[in-house]
Chains A and B, each alone.
Chain A
Amino acid sequence: MNAWHVHADLMGRYLSGSLDPALAMSVDAHLGGCAACRAAVPYEEEWLAGGWQRLADEAGLPASGPAERLLLRAGLPGHLARLVTATPTLSRAWLVAVVAVLAFGVIAARQTDQALPLFLVLAPVLPPAGIAAAYGPRVDPAHEMLAATPLSGARLLLTRSTAVLATAFALAGLASPLLPAPPWLSAAWLLPALALTSGCLALSTRVPLPLAAFAAAGLWLTGVAAAAGAAGDWRVSFHPAAQILYGCAALLLTVLAYRRRDRLDPGEPR
């Protein structure tokens, strides 16, 4: 049985916060086991109930996934982190497919120099392919439900596209240094990838997104093959002059896609 109780003077100092930490902890411990002393501690019932409710709410929250935690640590606001990580394309299957394509390109290039173009030609196609599978009624099971929300249309598509683009760039960027080529050539896929992505988004204001991605990729592959055939050198599509062209195209197409962004909204009159 506990015969000792917190006397009035000690309680007063405890409540004012002027006790030294060791003594305050002793009082804490005593209050935990003594209902009589606890009853002498004034508190606001509403404030306490609110505190318990907040604690219960926090404890009941679903745990964030590793990708979401990573984005939160990178400083992205919580709602954007959740929005990005829920992008349908960013599924394990898509990531495995991208890694497999890149790994195949790197391994083939290291086996024989003649396989190097394979990586450089395929890497730019990955972002538009991912974006095509990220938005739209054919690929997103909840598209119709989400289309009636204020963030649908261009805002949702561009958020998802950014997430896909960043992921594809990060993976291709990690694979590039493994290529048996000078650094400028290993990174020569970057600007074509940007141009293809912008082109795909700009074209999707006219035709469905998968068709736009298919057209952009087809144009790229045909162009590279035609240029290589005409010049007798596959590198011609990756030379500095061509890179300037890709950079300009990426810029212009991004502006075009932005100006036509309203057309990405399913509710926009045609």
Chain B
Amino acid sequence: MTIHVKGLTKRFGRKHVLNGLDLTVTPGVTGLLGPNGAGKTTLLRCLATTLAPDGGSMDVLGLNPADRVQRTELRRRLGYLPQDPGHYPHFTAFDLVDYVAILKEITDRRERHAEVRRVLAEVDLSEQAKVRVRRLSGGMRQRLALAQALLGRPDLLILDEPTVGLDPEQRMRFRAVVSKVGESRTVLLSTHQTEDVAALCERVVVMDGGSAVFDGTPGGLAATAAGRVWLSEDPPDAARLFWRTADGRYRTLGERPAGGGAAEPGVEDGYLLLLGDRARVAA
């Protein structure tokens, strides 16, 4: 067990963002799904020790983030890619990762530079090492942020929406990097991309309203939609959750529409059905 969270609460003003959340994360890749405001980022910030929760308890890699000494030890063993990583635009890609490596206490210059080169190569940015960050594309900056998270081969990798801004090829490469890390260590990532969860994650946790509303495998999430996914030639009742697919047919979730045939459910179907009304608004 890498992470054990019990009764975690966090409030911003009057808004309860985490609402007594219980969660256990084991080695491998775990995906966090949920609508905006579900509390995913707040949870990841608490686990990454950049935000203190108001209540509840956390055990991360056997350490208590509320304790100063254990928190510092935890920071030595985790890699964190925040939702909005931010950059120093006048730094080169190498300098930025080198700077984070210093803050991760890799003080030996030779060792540090070798590590910086390794992580830049892992995210395919070796060629851009001497390019200033302001000249990098959005996707390259995202990969650069991922590179700094990989410094020191962390035991726990926390990634908040890591695939934002990546093109399909880069996403494939990202998946390869993350799944490799997940073979021996723990990766917890939040995403809006259900296909990332289906392709990468052994476990998926769906959050809503500051609590976990589903915890299981991607297959299990898809199975919750069994018998509630339909394909039809004609558009169904507008009150239903549906969309037009690439082949011109209509995919409907919930009750069977007139003329609808059963379809194989996917992770996205299970997720949307779980969210219910909010999913309909989002769609």
Enumerate chain A interface residues (CB-CB to B < 8 A): 54, 57, 60-62, 77-79, 82-83, 86, 88, 140-152, 156, 262, 265-270
Contact check, B87 vs A141: say whether CB atoms are below 8 A apart. yes
Nearest CB in chain A: distance from B101 CB, A: 9
Enumerate chain A residues within 8 angstroms of B163, measured Cβ to Cβ.
Answer: none
Task: Output the least CB separation between A179 and chain B (Å).
Answer: 34
B103 x A156 contact (CB < 8 A): yes
B271 at the interface (CB under 8 A from A): no
B101-135 CB mask vs A (1 if < 8 Å, else 0) is 01111010110111001000000000001100000
Residue in B50, B84, B95 whose beta carbon sits within 8 Å of that of A148 in the complex: B50
Measured in the bound complex, the distance between the Cα atoms of B104 and A112 in whole Å is 52
CB neighbours (8 Å) of A270 from chain B are 52
Q: How far is the CB of B40 from chain A (nearest CB, A)?
A: 15
Asked if B99 and A86 make an inter-chain contact with CB atoms under 8 angstroms apart, the answer reads yes
* B109 near A152: Cβ-Cβ < 8 Å: no
> Do the beta carbons of A262 and B68 come within 8 Å of each other?
yes
**Is there contact, CB below 8 Å, between B75 and A144?**
no
Among A140, A143, A148, A265, max chain B CB count under 10 A is at A148
Q: Is B100 an interface residue (CB 8 A)?
A: yes
Contact (Cβ within 8 A) B66 A269? yes
B85 within 8 A of A: yes
Give the residue of B92, B99, B104, B129 whose beta carbon is less than 8 angstroms from that of A150: B104
A57 to B129: give the CA distance in the assembly, Å. Answer: 13
- Which positions 45-97 of chain B face chain A at CB distance < 8 Å? 45, 48-53, 65-66, 68, 71-72, 75-76, 78, 80-82, 84-88, 91-92, 94-96
Cα–Cα, bound, A237→B114 (Å): 55
- A54 CA to B80 CA, complexed, in Å: 30
Choice from B45, B50, B80, B92 contacting A62 with Cβ under 8 Å: B92
**Beyond A83-B102, A88-B88, A151-B105: 15 further Cβ-contacts under 8 Å?**
A57-B110, A86-B91, A140-B86, A143-B86, A145-B86, A147-B48, A148-B48, A149-B75, A150-B75, A150-B76, A152-B75, A152-B103, A266-B52, A267-B52, A267-B71
Residues of A within 8 A of B206 (CB): none
Task: Give the interface centre of B84, B91, B95, B103 by most chain A CB atoms within 10 Å.
Answer: B103
Distance between Cα atoms of A86 and B85 in the complex (Å): 17
- Among candidates A60, A88, A142, A265, residue contacting B85 with C-beta atoms closer than 8 Å: A142
List of 10 A-B pairs having minimum Cβ-Cβ separation, nearest first: A141-B86, A267-B49, A149-B103, A148-B80, A147-B50, A144-B82, A142-B86, A269-B52, A151-B103, A150-B75
Asked whether A145 lies within 8 Å of B148 as measured between CB atoms, the reply is yes
> Measured between alpha carbons, how far is A27 from B182 in the docked complex, in Å?
55
* Pairwise interchain contact A62-B94, C-beta atoms closer than 8 A: yes
Q: Is the interface of A mostly helix, strand, loop or mixed?
A: loop
Say yes or no: A82-B84 contact (C-beta < 8 A), given A77-B107, A267-B50: no
B49 proximity list for chain A (CB < 8 A): 147-148, 266-267
On whether the beta carbons of A266 and B102 are closer than 8 Å, the reply is no
B78 adjacent to A148 (CB under 8 Å): yes
Indicate if the CB atoms of A144 and B85 lie closer than 8 Å: yes
Interface centre among A82, A83, A142, A265 (most CB of B within 10 A): A142
Q: What A residues does B48 contact at CB under 8 A?
A: 147-148
> Which residues of B are found within 8 Å of A147, using beta-carbon distances?
48-50
Separation of A156 and B102 alpha carbons in the complex (Å) = 11
Contact of B145 with A by CB under 8 A: yes
> Bound complex: CA of A57 vs CA of B202, how far in Å?
39
Q: Can you list 13 A-B pairs with a CB-CB distance of less than 8 A?
A: A61-B113, A62-B95, A141-B88, A142-B96, A144-B50, A144-B85, A145-B81, A148-B158, A149-B100, A150-B103, A152-B75, A267-B50, A269-B66
**Assembly CA distance A77 to B110 (angstroms):** 13
Contacts of B103 in A (CB 8 A): 83, 146, 149-152, 156
CB-CB under 8 A from B98, the residues of chain A are: 62, 82
Q: Smallest Cβ distance from A161 to chain B, in angstroms? A: 16
